[in-house]
Amino acid sequence: MKVAVIGAGLMGSGIAQTFAQAGYEVTNIDTFPASLEKAGANVARLFEKKVAKGKLTEEEKKKILGRLTYSGNMEDVKGAALIVEAVPENMELKKSVFATVDGLADPDSILVSNTSGLSISEIAAATKRPNKVMGAHFFYPAPVMKLLELIRGIATDDKTYETMKEIAKQIGKTTVDAPELPGFMVNRILVPMQNEAAFMVMEGCKPEDVDNAMKLGCNFPMGPLELTDFVGVDIMLGTMKGLYSGFSDSKYRPCPLLENMVKAGRLGKKSGQGFYRYDENGNKVG
């Protein structure tokens, strides 16, 4: 079975890798050549590390990478039974991608969005096959995190949902049925916590204290601020804004410090600075 993943950013490239590791032929499509180059280099580096650690043989690595191709041409969705969209969280952009893909993809193909909280029904309405559209929300890093949130739009049919659930099992993910509401399930709980952590820094707490509190007090693998840097301050703020506007509830008010950090270009690990500083290899330096 062939899969196409649209978007070669942090999520898209990880999702493409996940499918390739599970034995699927995958094309990762992005209209920005620089994103494709970066995605290819990152995945290759990751697999080299796995070989060096003895977790994978050189031959296994070659096989997996051989199933993964990169393309700048949307026409390459043709022949894919499943198309996963992972472009930035912008409704107009997502609708335009879905309209284009709908016109090119095989009539039976299933189209899923990796949106972290936008309306699946609205995205589906941009296509002529809303019954074959649903949400499948991966978590970062996609090859590692075991969860896949499944979100049905108003028109999603049972066959599409059941097929996606089966595919999720084949790629080693456990699914939960999340409601079609802003933030779905995980982000509705997780992101307000990250937002609250940012408020504490704004009020004068040290980032490392806030993170240590949650790591040592709750056994979190990463503190909420480390996680914000890891996923991207802009991405986290975008999700918080989605909760605020989606529920029209002041309890989701985004922390002004996050707004200022994004305006200043402090986007976290990917820009070299967020709540912490990072070297060019992404290692924390302060």
The footprint of ligand 3HC on residues 122-151 (CB under 6 A) is 139-141, 143-145
Fill in the per-residue mask, 175 to 214: x = in contact with ligand 3HC (CB under 6 A), - = not in contact: ------------x--x------------------------
DSSP character at residue 241: H
Shortest distance in whole angstroms from residue 64 CB to ligand 3HC: 12
In the residue annotation, 187 being an active-site residue is answered as yes
The one catalytic residue in 116, 119, 121, 195 is 116
# binding residues, ligand 3HC (CB under 6 A): 19
**Which listed residue (95, 99, 222, 277) binds ligand 3HC by CB under 6 A?**
222
Question: Is cis: bond before 254, omega within 30 of 0?
Answer: no
Residue 149 designated active-site: yes
Site string for ligand 3HC, 62-101 (x = CB under 6 A): ----------------------------------------
Q: Answer yes or no: are the C-beta atoms of 200 and 186 closer than 8 Å.
A: no
- Mark residues 235-254: x for contact with ligand 3HC by CB under 6 A, - for none: x-------------------
To the query of whether residue 71 is one of the catalytic residues in this protein, the response is no
Q: Three-state SS for 286?
A: coil
Which residues lie closer than 8 Å to 101 by C-beta, 6 or more apart?
A: 6, 74, 77, 83, 85, 111, 127
Dihedral sign computed on CA atoms, order 64, 70, 74, 75: negative
121 close to 154: Cβ distance less than 8 angstroms: yes
Query: Which DSSP state fits 71?
Result: E
Q: Which helix (H) or strand (E) holds 237?
A: helix 233-247
Please check whether residue 95 is in contact with residue 6, taking contact to mean a CB–CB distance below 8 angstroms: no
**Catalytic residue positions?**
116, 137, 149, 187
Binding site for ligand 3HC (CB under 6 A): 14, 46, 50, 53, 55, 116, 139-141, 143-145, 187, 190, 221-222, 227, 231, 235
